[in-house]
Amino acid sequence: MRTDAVILGTAFGYLALLFVVAAWGDRRAEQGRSLIGSPTVYALSIAVYCTAWTFYGSVGRAADHGPSFLLIYLGPTLAMLLAPVVIRKMVRIASRQRITSIADFISARYGKSTSLGALVALMALICITPYIALQLKAITVSHAVLVNYPNTADATLVDERFWLDKSLWVALVLAVFIILFGTRHLDASERHEGMVAAIALESLVKLIAFMAVGIFVVFVLYEGPSALFASVATMPEIAEKMGLESVPGGATGWAGMLILAFLAFLTLPRQFQVLVVENVDEQHLARASWLFPLYMLLINLFVIPIAFAGLLLGAGAGDSDSFVLTLPLSAGLEGLPLLVFIGGLSAATGMVIVETIALSTMVSNQLIMPLLLRTQRLHLSTSGELAGWLLGIRRIAIVLILLLGYLYHALIGDSYSLVTIGLVSFAGVAQFAPALLIGLYWRGATRQGATAGLIAGFLVWCYTLLLPGFAQSGWLDATFLTQGPWGISWLMPYRLFGLEDWDIYSHALLWSMLANVGLLIGVSLFSRPTPLEQTQAALFTGALHPNLQTTSLWRGQTTQGALKELLIRYLGNQVTHRVFNQSINKSDYRSDEPATADLITRSEQALAGSLGSASARVLINSVVRGEALDLESILSILDTTSQTLEYNRRLEQKSQELVAVSDELRSANEQLRELDRLKDEFVAMVSHELRTPLTSIRAFAEILRDSDQLPDEKRQHFLGVIVHESQRLSRLIEEILDLARLESGRLTLHPVTLDLAALARQSIDAVARLHEDRGITLDISLAADPAMVVGDQDRLEQVIINLLDNASKFADRQQPQVRLALYRHRNHFRLSVEDNGPGISADERERVFEKFHQIQQSGETPRGRPKGSGLGLPISRGIIAHIGGRLWVEDAKTLGGACLTLELPAAPKESTLSNSSQLTGE
């Protein structure tokens, strides 16, 4: 069954299936029912990362170098963890600027530089061609193993003629496939839906094939993993392979390889193609960030068992790179080896397809197109459309790249094992990482810096990896490796500057990255970017800024006619109509009208998608006058967020302050209102109080005037009333004046040392008559006698009389009782006046000292008669406070009513205070 015809039939049948799937995918895309619009398909297409190198080479590397093969997949796992951060940014930029490849991306970042784009494209071509050769070699070798087993494959390969080499034919079939499905659109930034669908299918096939071998080896060849590992345990020299000491370079080599795989995953042209250019929806990154690592874990799950099984089999298994094939073959199976071969074919062709598309786009857009534009601009103005040319260039590039890969494989491919070529390529493309990643986050990176870094990194890579490879192939003198060029030992390519004991890849990565990053940063710091570079740097670093999306950034001027002519010449009528229809209404088109900013932007994007951003730039500049992009406006958009946040923060602070202030104002306003109300009441009360005596004075005076016949007795009585009422009037006015003086602080006091007890007696005498009239029982208790204090004699007497008067007014109606007590309290004397009236509730106690308060209270008393102006207590408290004492209300301990207590400090002994010293207001 294992005849050449069957094998070839299966292989080419499988390729035909790919054509069908791709054609179906493209048709579905045309119908608007995309096959690839799912995160799972996206994740599977990223699995193009797993090439024939994974499929055959992982087992080989595991057999030779232990667990180091896993690093090639752990690095991308780390990179995919950052996908929603880093790759999302790249996807956003690429879709907005219609980026077509990694060379285009780097060129666009550094001011749409033609030279930088060409440099990257050239480097990619040099790094990747061997990698394509590696895939073709894998197909040839696996085919040879399959046909010749149990003979070794090498013997037959040497003699074969090139037209009998199957990989040549595979390469040609692939060329047809890529031309059909990779160059359908002129716009390379558009998705290749059919191709991506085919790649996703290939990823599934290689996973299934590899896992089938794994399951066969573990569960059929051996009875489960424990049986396999038990046999391994009996052979220590195999068992020891999986330790860290089998890893080249040990811990350093481990870290170096991890970083290398991380960087290469982001910078490999095919990975950039599937990750960024072919991304349909940013949201797919979320699923892919774990699904793709899971895919890698699964495809690596059986690598170690297969390697062990192959090593246990010994010589019969042949080369470790072919264990995957030789193990099922050695068991005499027929179908499984064929499946494995198809799996390997999937892995190889998938990589070749995507890589070739990416490279051909770079070659046409970054290398050929700028040359054509530079040399043939005059001719093109008469030559009509360029669209056909461009596709032609790409198709030729595809065939040439594949042939180059085949030639490399046919001529020097034998000098390296599979993994070696792959790792050399990895280290080569990793040189793009500084320009790419630093440029993505550091606005200050310049074109000169990136160019210097790339060239330096690339040269170091050539010296430390590529040339030694040639030396090993015998193309160069081997002493170059062992003694250094011209015998200079510190220039030995694998031990540069005496750095020994590192594995060659970590060693090359260290020196190349030092040169690359160092020059990128160093030169950037000392070079001046052009305005366009600054603009692009701002657009790239601020790509995820929400405001950037919706803004049209063109500021140049041109006419619609000039733009249309340009687009038709380069992109053809169809594309031109589409661009114009998206931007303006058909009826608005006037060839001499100025083109809108939106139209210019769309035109440049359309050109960029087909020709690359550098060439698009050159073409647009040929018709647009004035500075095309406004750096200031971009920067202002990017800075808006931070400014807005700061502004909002300040606004918030201010509004909080305002709330606090308005609260204060509100409470102050309420106090004022209350005061105003009290004042009104006071005025009314004062008027009333003044009117009452005035009315009676006037009435009696009129009687006296009008009645001559009045008996003397009556006349005397009337005159007495008039005098009494006048006194009341003056007292009231005196009180109001006192209050005014107290409030304004102009009350003059004459403090002397005096005996409070004597003063109390004197006051009692003054009110004795009044109390007698009211029938009040006065109880006096002078516990401190004498009680020397400092105060104004008259004012203090006024206060005490006021307190006694108040008490007598509020005492019980039937059996009024008042009690005056004077006693010492620590360093003070206290004089309290109690009554047996209703008392004052706790919350009213402070309010009785408010001016006018008493007025209100007095109106409400059931007795219905005014008890005074209500100014007595406020005035009393004011006086006491001026003297340095206190006056307050408390419950009467003896009589049960209210108790007003005044407290004055005891006078210092031998007081020398004279009458002349004055105490004025506080």
Footprint of another protein on this chain (CB under 8 A)? 66-67, 70-71, 74, 77-78, 80-82, 84-85, 229, 232-233, 236, 239-240, 242-244, 251-252, 254-255, 258, 283, 286-287, 289-291, 293-294, 297, 301, 304, 544
Min dist CB 287 to another protein, Å, is 7
Sign of CA dihedral 392, 393, 395, 399: positive
Structural tokens at position 692: 């009452």
Distance (Å, whole) CA 243 – CA 263: 25
CA neighbor of 792 nearest in space, from 752, 844, 745, 836:
752
- The 3-state DSSP class for residue 312 equals helix
Min dist CB 573 to another protein, Å, is 37
Q: Which is nearer to another protein, 210 or 700 (CB)?
A: 210
Q: Which is nearer to another protein, 85 or 723 (CB)?
A: 85
Q: Using the 8-state DSSP alphabet, how is residue 217 labeled?
A: I
CA neighbor of 148 nearest in space, from 324, 344, 5, 3:
3
CB-based contact 80:302 (threshold 8 Å): no
H-state helical runs in 275-367: 284-300, 303-313, 323-330, 335-362
- The 3-state DSSP class for residue 831 equals strand
Min dist CB 86 to another protein, Å, is 10
Beta strands in 394-434 (DSSP E): none
Q: Which is nearer to another protein, 69 or 131 (CB)?
A: 69
Q: Which residue has the tokens 């059919």?
A: 194
H-state helical runs in 499-592: 504-525, 531-541, 560-571, 573-583
Min dist CB 535 to another protein, Å, is 24
Min dist CB 32 to another protein, Å, is 23
Q: Which is nearer to another protein, 170 or 258 (CB)?
A: 258
Distance (Å, whole) CA 102 – CA 784: 105
Would you tell me how many other CB atoms lie within 10 Å of the CB of residue 345? Answer: 28
Distance (Å, whole) CA 22 – CA 632: 46
CA-based radius of gyration for the chain: 52
Min dist CB 178 to another protein, Å, is 33
Q: Which is nearer to another protein, 308 or 406 (CB)?
A: 308
Sign of CA dihedral 743, 747, 752, 758: negative
Min dist CB 322 to another protein, Å, is 22
Min dist CB 148 to another protein, Å, is 32
Q: Which is nearer to another protein, 254 or 341 (CB)?
A: 254
Distance (Å, whole) CA 257 – CA 268: 15
CB-based contact 421:141 (threshold 8 Å): no
Cis peptide before 786 (omega within 30 of 0): yes
Distance (Å, whole) CA 503 – CA 65: 12
Q: Which is nearer to another protein, 66 or 878 (CB)?
A: 66
Residues 6+ apart with CB under 8 A from 213: 302, 306, 324, 327, 328, 336, 340
Min dist CB 285 to another protein, Å, is 9
Min dist CB 504 to another protein, Å, is 18
Min dist CB 251 to another protein, Å, is 4
Distance (Å, whole) CA 508 – CA 648: 51
Q: Which is nearer to another protein, 73 or 105 (CB)?
A: 73
Min dist CB 281 to another protein, Å, is 11
DSSP lists the bridge partners of residue 888 as 901
Residues 6+ apart with CB under 8 A from 819: 778, 779, 780, 781, 833, 834, 835, 892, 894, 895
Q: Which is nearer to another protein, 297 or 780 (CB)?
A: 297
